[in-house]
Amino acid sequence: MSATGLSQKISFSGKNVPLEKIFPVIEAQTGYLVFCNYALLNKTKLVSLSVKDMPMKDFLLEILKEQPLEYSIERKTIVISKKALPPSPAIDTTILQTVTGKVTDFNGRPVIGATIAIKGTKSGTTTNESGIFTLTSVKRNAVVVISSLGYERKEIPVRGNSIQAQLNMDVNKLDETVIIAYGTTTKRLNPGDVTTVTAEEIAKHPVNNVFEALQGKVPGLFIQQVTGQPGGAFNIRLRSSANFTSDASVAPQPLIVVDGVIYPGGTLPMSQNTSYGTADFLKGGSGLNYLNPNDIESISVLKDADATALYGSSGAYGVILITTKKAKPGPATFNANIYTGVSVLGTTPKLMNTQQYLMLRREVLANDGTAVSVFDKDINGTWPEDRYTDFRKVLLGSHAQTTNVNLSYGGGTRNTSYLLNGSLRNTGNIQRHKGSMGDGSFRFSLNTASNDNKLSLALSGNYLSSTSTMVPIDFSSSIALSAPNAPALFLPDGSLNWETGSNDLAGDINKMYKNITNNLLANSTLTYKPAKQLTLRAILGYNNITGREFMGYPTTTKAPSYTNAAAETHSLINNYEVRTITVSPYAEYNAALWGKGNLNVKTGGMIDNKLKYSDEIHGIGFPSDALLSNPAAGTTVTSTYTQTPYRSLGFHAVIKFVWDQRYIINLNGRRDGSTKFGSGRKFGNFGSIAAAWIFSESAWIKEHASFLSYGKLRGSTGVIGGDAISDYSYVSTYSTLTGTYEGKTGLTNGSLANPLLSWEKNKNSEVGLELGFLNDRIYTEASFYRNVASNQLINQSLSTVTGFRGYAMNSDAVIRNSGWEISLNSTNIKTSSITWSTRVNISIPTSKLKKLPTHRNLSANYVVGKPITGILLYKFAGIDPQTGYYSFTNAKGTTDDFNSGLEDADKTAFLDLAPKYYGNFQNSVHYKQWSVDFTFTFTSRKGKNFLGQSAFPFGYMGINGGTEWLRRWQKRGDVTDIPKVSADISNWSRHDYFKASTGAYSDASYARLQNVSINYRLKHELLQKLHVKDLSIYLQGQNLLTISRYGGLDPENLDAATIPPMRVFTAGANITF
């Protein structure tokens, strides 16, 4: 026997060879699989044959010539079956037989654990690790239904006693499990609005925080990365929540629930110590930085009243349900996923070089008629004029290494399954830095059930420990605060240059920092089914995030000549903890009614008990830098301790009725309590109603519009309560002040209390249309929602004569948010070797203030009929060609270069800062072993431009500006958009007006190649030789290319003083044994 590589031609030579020994030869030479029920081979004859390069089909005919067998080819599988007999006059349907079969995927790989069911019966089985199944007692005319997560469902009529099924990748996912509040459903039967993102999609993104991977994928969910610094925060808004808080960083975020535990998704109680703390630098951080995206199985985003009502108070601003990977039955499998790469600085605005800077500085003095002074070191000869340092390059120009290793081992039987998972991540810093951020995690998941399946228990635990030694400084904020010919920040040996007696830009680099954050997430779900129709379940979740931040400010951050350096050394340790216990017991009753009906009733409750605490020790004045590690060793030691409890609880009842798989109605009711409100006002009642009609099931459609494979009309409406106000605003409290006054501690009351505070009311309605065409190859969904928010919890402005800027109250204002969300999935090409699918979604949110609050509000930005996310601005009228100053048009219509006299009433231009629309355009191409994905995200919005963000107009010694200053006004008659350069004091108020004018805002719309993922999966045959179940290698990139006209700033984080989202390039491998 000889083989000559993979082709569709076969060379064979042998005498009296049994058929079962020829099949491997065919497989080896052609790459085709031969599938055959070996029982058939009992009665076959031996084969003698000698051929060279015979076409495969001929070869098959030849060897089967005298056998009672025939073959068929399905894709790359040759199926050998019994020769069809002449049809018998009537099939005896009572005859029972055994059917075996094999289920493979697109690439011919076995599909493990696929569900095999016989249509219309309750019998069924699952495929084993080779994708093979056996069904006994199958009637002859039966239809076998094969389904598996991620694949299209397939129905195969039984003919003969073997089945060969190849499953196509699922396109529409209509019947995939969708995780909703306290349970699951399918996209098909869900009357609410839920978007699910799977692990597979998340895995394409080399990111540390899963929010980054979610960006753009979920219509209605706007995600903004605030800082590119690892460990930083994200602003998340669902449907631009109808809330008065227009500042996205403080607006209520959607509730995040991880495995049933309410999770601190937003800010953590990091050190608030204003001059030294990390809170500002990481913008508060994000709890999800401490959950490895690789551990996530799926994310469901609940949007409408129907979906969110069950989370009551906490769900008023949307709900994000995160489910971690869980144990599954199956053979023991070991998986390793490893990637490594680099990240580099994203888009930043360009600053002037020395030559440009000096030219403009001289122009300043000429314009102002001032002489060069002793302070003007940049131009008075103190600093050489040919020296140039690109401070951004020096401080932010590094390449940061990033590495991620994930190992998992899992398997189990039907009764007990297990999954163990470990991961290591390390992320460097693009800043000139010591230190990095890294974490390691361990998790397990264990499922066990009694033999009768009545009692089952699922346990999971996840522990992650993260260490960051990156000094918490964002150098971006100070890049422009030095003359480009100022002395170098570092000496050639890398140490700080103290030539001028100070080093404001880089001195901080010698600070010491260590932050250890641990995240423990545990969940147990106990299920008891006393009767077939009744399920009792209790979910108990526990989450504990603890942090220990250390910061030290040694003498080396100050010039060696600075005599007070020792007295100013200080260090602090901040310990914090956020602990959440969530208990949710519920009962579920399921019953078939009147033949075609299905009733599902759920009732239960939820207790959420949260405790945040932090204690901080701060020492000043150390005898030695070596003692900084213990802040208690300082000359002056202060400490703070805070502890804030929050509790909420709720009862809920849900009734869902499905008639004939066509008509669905869902009723939710809920009673909520929260400690954010005072006595007698703690509880509120809320509820929703939803209905759906799957009209494609109707006979008329099936007959007259068969191209429509799926059509659903759904609608929901409901009232949800919100409690987005700071804790204990209803009670006036006294708390201690820092320090003592001659030995006596002081108390002060910090806020005005409002005992009348009560629940916000959000009335949310939505209608949606879902359509599938051509067997769901094209699937589209459009939703229109309208949320009306009233009784809003706001901070009502007060005249400061009252002692306060405002106080918490329920406003009688009414805000209406509405919007369209449209998505389209299309499988453009689907052949045996290539699949190309495209997904597009777009969200178009609008908001309107329907009724102004009765109480006057300082924010004159509230205009009836306009969005609350907007602001009122002075009308910028360009640069006055005569004077070179900014000019504005006031309320009277006068255009002048005002430097005083403009009032709030002169702000006549309204600018909405919320995104006008945003979305995502995603393509996946699978070609043989290759798959290539690329994703564009796009957002249309306005943002503050670089000039508008600059605190200082150009002119002062040591303050550089963007290259747009080269376009400045120079002489009478110049028409330009940049004013004349001047250090005159009047420029300050002019620039202040400018910052509050339309001129300070530019179009920050952008399209971004957010992600590219190229994956090569090794061929099945090669894997078999390597004794590996699966192996793929991949290249991934994040934030690769940004197209915008936003003057060099990053259009996502919109802030020149913060590190923008990084560009990341990685390469990795994923192997399964």
Partner 1 sequence: MVLSSLLMSCEKYLENTQLPSGTIAGTDAFVSDNSTSAIVTGSYISLNNSGPFTGSASSNIAYITGLYTDELKNISTSSFADVYYKNAVTNNNTTHWTDLYSKLYVINSTIEGIQKTTATLYYKDQWLGECYFIRALLYYYLMNLYGDLPLALSSDYTVNNKLSRTPQKQVCQQIITDLKSAQRLLSTDYKDGFGATTNNRVRPNRAVATALLSKVYMYTAQWDSAEAQATAVINNTDYQLISLDQVFLANSKETIWALATISDVKVFEYEFYNNGMPAVLTPPEDPATAYTVLVAMNSPLLNAFEPNDARYTNWVRSTTVTATATSPAVTYYFPDKYKSATNGVEKEIVLRLADLYLTRAEARARQNNISGAQSDLDIIRTRAGLPGTTASTQDELLTAISKERQVELFTECGNRYFDLKRSGTIDNVMNVVAPLKGTSWSHYMQLWPIPPGDIILDPNLTPNPGY
**654-713 residues near partner 1, rule: CB under 8 A:** 673-675, 679, 682-683
Binder of partner 1 out of 184, 636, 882, 1024 (CB under 8 A): 636
Nearest to 488 by CA among 361, 613, 384: 384
Nearer to partner 1, 201 or 363 (CB): 363
786 to 805, contacts with partner 1 by CB under 8 A?
797-805
CB closer to partner 1, 778 vs 808: 808
Least Å distance between CB 284 and partner 1? 19
Distance CA 837, CA 106 (A): 15
Among positions 728, 876, 934, 1001, the unique one binding partner 1 when judged by CB under 8 A: 728
Q: Which of 642, 661, 894, 970 binds partner 1 (CB under 8 A)?
A: 642
Query: In the structure encoding, which two tokens stand for residue 476, read together?
Result: 């971006």
Residue 381 C-beta: closest distance to partner 1, Å: 6
Radius of gyration of the chain (CA): 34
DSSP code of residue 227: -
> What are the CB-based long-range contacts (under 8 Å, 24+) for 854-862?
854/812, 855/796, 855/809, 855/811, 856/797, 857/796, 857/797, 858/797, 858/805, 858/806, 859/797, 860/904, 860/907, 861/246, 862/813
Residue 1058 gets which letter from DSSP?
S
Candidates 72, 130, 137, 380: give the one binding partner 1 (CB under 8 A): 380
CB of 978 to partner 1, least distance (A): 21
Q: How far is the CB of 537 from partner 1 (least distance, A)?
A: 19
Q: What is the DSSP string of 332-387?
A: EEEEEEEEEEEEE----PPBP-HHHHHHHHHHHHHHHT----TT-TTTSSSS-TT-
Contact window for partner 1 (CB under 8 A) among 79-87, 732-740, 770-778, 1063-1071: 732-740
Q: One symbol per residue from 382 to 411: x for binding partner 1 (CB under 8 A), - otherwise; what is it?
A: x-----------------------------
Report the nearest approach of partner 1 to the CB of residue 738 (Å): 7
Min CB(855)–partner 1 separation in Å? 9
CA 767/CA 761 separation, integer angstroms: 20
Interactions with partner 1, residue window 475-514 (CB under 8 A): 500-502
Tell me the closest approach of the beta carbon of residue 1023 to partner 1, in angstroms.
57
Complex with partner 1: residue 508 or 992, whichever CB lies closer? 992
Q: Report the site for partner 1 in 735-754 (rule: CB under 8 A).
A: 735-749, 752-753
Number of residues that bind partner 1 (CB under 8 A): 84
Choose which of 274, 563, 831, 854 interacts with partner 1 (CB under 8 A).
563
Q: Measured from the CB of residue 736, what is the shortest distance to partner 1 in angstroms?
A: 6
CA-to-CA distance for 209 and 207, rounded, in angstroms? 6
**Binders in 884-903 for partner 1, by CB under 8 A:** 900, 903
Q: Pick the closer one to partner 1 by CB: 66 or 904.
A: 904
d(CA 147, CA 905): 65
Span 904-943, contacts to partner 1 by CB under 8 A: 904
Q: Do 64 and 53 contact (CB within 8 A), yes or no?
A: no
Identify which of 268, 275, 269, 279 has the alpha carbon closest to the alpha carbon of residue 641.
269
29-68 footprint of partner 1 as x/- string (CB under 8 A): ----------------------------------------
CB 995 within 8 Å of CB 948 = yes
Residue 690 contacts residue 715 (beta carbons within 8 Å): yes
Interacting residue with partner 1 among 38, 375, 707, 927 (CB under 8 A) = 375
CA distance 1008 to 1003: 15
Return the residue of 784, 807, 917, 1016 that touches partner 1, per CB under 8 A. Answer: 807
> Would you say 457 or 536 has its CB closer to partner 1?
536
Nearest to 644 by CA among 289, 246, 288, 267: 267
Pairing of strands 9-17, 930-940: unpaired
- Please list every residue from 955 through 1014 that binds partner 1, using CB under 8 A: 956-958, 985-986, 988-989, 992
Quick check: 650 and 603 in contact, CB under 8 A?
Answer: no
For residue 793 the two structure tokens come to 């919890």
CB of 353 to partner 1, least distance (A): 22
Q: For partner 1, give the closer residue by CB, 122 or 744.
A: 744
Contact with partner 1 (CB under 8 A) among 129, 697, 727, 977: 727
Closest separation in Å from C-beta 522 to partner 1: 22
Identify the three-state secondary structure at position 798: coil
Which residue in 542, 545, 544, 543 sits closest to 517, CA to CA? 545
Contacts of 871 (CB under 8 A, 6+ apart): 861, 910, 911, 913
Cβ-based nearer residue to partner 1, 655 or 858: 858
Query: Measuring CA to CA, which residue among 1039, 1070, 1057, 1048 is closest to residue 215?
Result: 1039
Residue tagged 């590996």 (tokens): 1028
Angle at 726 between CA 725 and CA 732, to 5 degrees: 115
Q: Given the complex with partner 1, which of 176 and 376 has the nearer CB atom?
A: 376
The footprint of partner 1 on residues 598-617 (CB under 8 A) is 607, 613
Question: End-to-end distance of the chain based on CA atoms, in angstroms?
Answer: 31
Q: In terms of CB distance, is 797 or 1032 closer to partner 1? A: 797
Helices marked H in 517-667 — which ranges?
565-568
DSSP code of residue 490: B
Whole-number minimum distance, CB 609 to partner 1, in Å? 9
State the minimum distance, in angstroms, from the CB of residue 269 to partner 1. Answer: 12
Q: In the bound complex, what is the minimum distance in angstroms from residue 1039's beta carbon to partner 1?
A: 37
- Smallest distance from partner 1 to CB 743, Å: 7
Beta carbon nearer to partner 1, 386 or 742: 742
* Span 837-866, contacts to partner 1 by CB under 8 A: 856-858, 860
CA distance 87 to 461: 59
The residues, any chain, with a CB within 8 Å of residue 952's CB and separated by 6 or more, are: 959, 991
Asked if residue 369 binds partner 1 (CB under 8 A), the reply is no
Tell me the closest approach of the beta carbon of residue 698 to partner 1, in angstroms: 42
Displacement of CA 100 from its chain's centroid (Å): 43
